Amino acid sequence: MGESDYLADPMADSSRVLVLNSGSSSLKFALLDPHSGEQYLSGIGEALGGPEPLLTWKSPGQKHSRQLDSGAAHGVVIDLLVRDLLAGSQPAAGNLIAVGHRVVHGGEQFAHSVVIDQKVIDAIAECAALAPLHNPPGLLGIHAAINAFPEIPQVAVFDTAFHQTLPRHAYLYALPYALYRDQRIRRYGMHGSSHRFVCERAAELLRKPLRELNIISAHLGNGASVTAVRNGQSVDTSMGLTPMEGLVMGTRCGDIDPGLLLHLGDALGFSLEKISSLLNRESGLLGISQLSNDCRELESAAADGHEGAKLALEIFCYRLAKYIAAYTVPLQRVDAVVFTGGIGENSIFVREQVLHQLRHLGFHVDAKHNESIRFGAEGRITAADSAVALVIPTNEEWVIARDAAALVRPGE
């Protein structure tokens, strides 16, 4: 089966978008209906470029996996997608109208999703200086998809785009201004597609237009960030130039004293490489607990009395509550706090702890709702007379598919 078999059929009534999310050694993919969000195929190629790359995928009702040849990279996964997986998903895959790519960093050049052309590719490559770990693999995915689907429009959806509405007093660091003017060093924020998705869904649940709502959304996965959304626009967010700033994360430290870096280098003789590994991969929940970066595991260890696990969760919740309270400054009125991401969607403990620390702002958890809203469920977890806190499962693939469809088929 060749690429032309996937070209859009103008007679078909349901379009599909292939969403690609390329990491340095992984490629996640999903084929979905941009209107309903229904997924027909999803999977991940992992350990790409290494000795034992593995492809796992699922189609409705079925799970599969395949060991790939040593050294197989992003292009091989996309070739397999075209030749085998999409073919196996017919007729669902028949009406592919776009490929949507998650791109982590769009710098100041992209405040919205765009159809990819050479100029866009060059701009993404330029932004790679700001996201050296993330943008180059994104480009690998884009090039591989253009090769595989030369006639299908490719769309880039940026993690940073939603935060381009931050005012300058929120995005500038108190550093010499020339660093911003000449090097574009500033806060950009991440997880934009997720924050946008849950805010749009919150507006539906609250039955009000998003432009009339003030929301604080907390995306709590392995990476974690919190965003203040005023009248539907991001006005502050906890991640900065890189995804290390802000909350405590699985293995990242979040906010620290920048003087600490000097101390590690000067007084302790740590190399930049060692500092980077320490702050990115050995800190956060893992570093504090000395046990795990996984919230679920920490909760169960804490329940068994593990002191490190208790401490890690305590610091995680405190930092998050402090950020949420801080965001009452730009918002003044908060219509809802939204929890999402693996921890936000599932952790009864974290939600309860955080909202308890925000009781002075009028948050009172409804224990029964908090316990029942998990595993993909959505809804309100605070009492009827309390300020509103919602749990909304995120769906970044759907945001990407929707944006791609809106750009290539406007008005549909």
What are the E-state strand segments in 85-145?
A: 96-103, 114-115
User: Count of CB atoms within 10 A of residue 190's CB?
Assistant: 28
Q: Are 219 and 225 in contact (CB under 8 A)?
A: yes
Nearer to ligand ADP, 108 or 314 (CB): 314
Nearer to ligand ADP, 397 or 403 (CB): 397
Q: How far is the CB of 340 from ligand ADP (least distance, A)?
A: 8
CA atoms of 110 and 165, how far apart (whole Å): 11
Q: Does the annotation list 222 as a binding residue?
A: yes
Q: Where are the alpha helices (DSSP H) in 95-220?
A: 118-127, 135-148, 168-171, 177-183, 192-206
In the three-class reduction of DSSP (H, G, I as helix; E, B as strand; rest coil), residue 131 is classed as coil
- Please give the helix or strand (H or E) that residue 154 lies within, else none: strand 154-158
Nearer to ligand ADP, 141 or 221 (CB): 221
* Interaction site with ligand ADP (CB under 6 A): 221-223, 250, 294-296, 299, 341-343, 346-347
Q: Does the annotation list 396 as a binding residue?
A: yes
Q: How far is the CB of 294 from ligand ADP (least distance, A)?
A: 4
Nearer to ligand ADP, 39 or 214 (CB): 39
Cβ-closest residue to ligand ADP?
Answer: 342
**Residue 212: Cβ-neighbour burial (10 angstroms; 0-12, 13-18, 19+):** exposed
CA atoms of 16 and 401, how far apart (whole Å): 8
Among 5, 69, 122, 159, the active-site one is: 159
Q: How far is the CB of 166 from ligand ADP (least distance, A)?
A: 22
| Amino acid residing at 209 | P
Q: How far is the CB of 91 from ligand ADP (least distance, A)?
A: 31
SS3 letters across 311-332: HHHHHHHHHHHHHHHHCHHHHC
Q: Does the annotation mark 159 as catalytic?
A: yes
Q: Does the annotation list 223 as a binding residue?
A: yes
Q: Does the annotation list 254 as a binding residue?
A: no
Q: Does the annotation list 220 as a binding residue?
A: yes
Q: Which residues are part of a known binding site for substrate?
A: 102
Q: Which residues are catalytic?
A: 159
Q: Which residues are part of a known binding site for ATP?
A: 28, 219-223, 294-296, 342-346
Q: Which residues are part of a known binding site for Mg(2+)?
A: 21, 396
